Amino acid sequence: MKEIECEGKTVTIAVEAGLRDIGLRRDQVEVQVLDEGSAGILGFGMKPARVLVREKRWGEASAAPSPSAPSASASKPSPRARLSSARPARAPRPAARAPRPEPKPEQPRPEPQPAAPKTSEAALPRDNARSPRREEPRREDRRPARAESAPRPRRDVERPPRGPEDGPKAASAARTVLSELLGLAGLHDVVVSANWDAEQDRVQAEVKTADAAFVLGKDGRTLEALQFLTTIIVGRRTGAPSAVQVECQGWWKQIEERLGQEADRAAGEVSQTGKPFRFEPMDPAMRRLVHRRLAAHPDVETASEGEGSWRKVVVRLKRQD
């Protein structure tokens, strides 16, 4: 009897791997789930599923018929019985329909009576005249609703000033949170550092590990998810929202350098043509970087427009007072 133990991302994938290794079909084996596995949080702490695939034990041939069972000749119907059974049974005749009831004679409709003349309000009794009535508002009291004005582009609102201890406190919390999250993901040989960047008004954290590809993920998506979770947890632990940037192998440094070059090119284009330049939608940290990059430019100014995930930076000429 063949049996094999296999692992996979899910139970279905593990069963398919076991069938492929044992060389049998699904109806020829028995499957026992040893561990259903766990998907983890955004890929961190994932645990594979384990199954045991075992070949089925087929029973022996059916036993001989018991002496009490009727013989084949006795159970075999006679030719006449077979002919009679082959004939289709006649359908039962439909029952006789009940006679329809005779229609009842129509009763004459009552003649309409003339409507009573309307009585003026003065002729009504005093009790009825005193009954309250619902008065409609006058036309002059009906004021038209205010028309909503179109949203205007506005600058990103700066955070309130922080105290001297808020920055180091947020950096210490970010260092602790990153160590806990990476430990839950199974990475233990990790060096985490975090400092407060007063110029950018954020926590600058860095992760150094031999498994940098695992921390970055495809197109930096795992690093972005790690940064998002760290920012939320640090804000809840410190009681104040703080921007946190998690760096690994200079990923964000390269992006910021390219964004700074793009901001300089956009400022030069707006200065020459006079037409506004709109960036692609970005997160708040990237928008603040563009604002600060062009804050001291003599010819252009920046503003943000749009809502939610579609919010973007617009570069345009400064207004002449």
Question: Which of 46-55, 158-167, 246-255 is least confident?
Answer: 158-167
Is the pLDDT at 143 greater than 90, yes or no? Answer: no
3-state helix, strand, coil in the chain (%, to 5): 35, 20, 45
In whole angstroms, what is the distance from residue 8 CA to residue 6 CA? 7
pLDDT of residue 204: 92
DSSP sequence for 194-213 = EEEETTTTEEEEEEEETTHH
Beta strands in the chain (DSSP E): 3-8, 29-35, 49-55, 190-197, 202-209, 244-247, 277-278, 300-305, 312-317
> How far apart, in whole angstroms, are the C-alpha atoms of residue 216 and residue 171?
21
- Give φ, ψ of 237 to 5 degrees: -75, -35
Q: What is the pLDDT of residue 156?
A: 44
Does residue 12 surpass a pLDDT of 70? yes
Q: Pick the residue with more confidence: 75 or 277?
A: 277
End-to-end CA distance of the chain: 91
Give residue 11's pLDDT.
86
Of 109-118, 122-131, 165-174, the range with the lowest mean pLDDT is: 122-131
* Predicted confidence (pLDDT) at residue 66 exceeds the cutoff of 80: no
Distance CA 46, CA 184 (A): 10
- pLDDT bin (cut points 50, 70, 90) of residue 107 is low
Q: What mean pLDDT comes out for the span 204-213?
A: 92
Locus of tokens 């329809």: 100
Task: Provide the pLDDT confidence category of residue 308 given band limits of 50, 70 and 90.
Answer: confident
Taking phi over 0 as left and psi of -120 to 50 as alpha, with beta for the rest, 198 belongs to alpha
Across residues 147-167, what is the average pLDDT? 52
Angle among Cα 151, 300, 161 to the nearest 5 degrees reads 70
Q: How confident is the model at residue 193 (pLDDT cuts 50, 70, 90)?
A: very high
The span from the CA of 214 to the CA of 191, in Å, is 15
Q: Which of 45-59, 79-93, 161-175, 298-312 has the lowest mean pLDDT?
A: 79-93
Helix (H) or strand (E) holding 260: helix 251-273
pLDDT at 165: 72
pLDDT at position 151, please?
44
Cα(126)–Cα(37) distance, rounded to whole angstroms? 84
Confidence band, pLDDT 50/70/90 cuts, at residue 103 = low
Nearest Cα neighbor of 309 from 288, 266, 280 is 280
**pLDDT of 248 over the 90 cut:** yes
Instruction: Reduce the DSSP state of residue 185 to 3 states and report it.
Output: coil
Q: What is the pLDDT of residue 113?
A: 58
CA proximity to 319, closest of 306, 302, 294: 302
Q: Which domains does the chain have, with CATH numbers?
A: 3-55 (no CATH), 166-249 (3.30.300.20), 253-317 (3.30.1370.50)
Mean pLDDT for the chain overall: 75
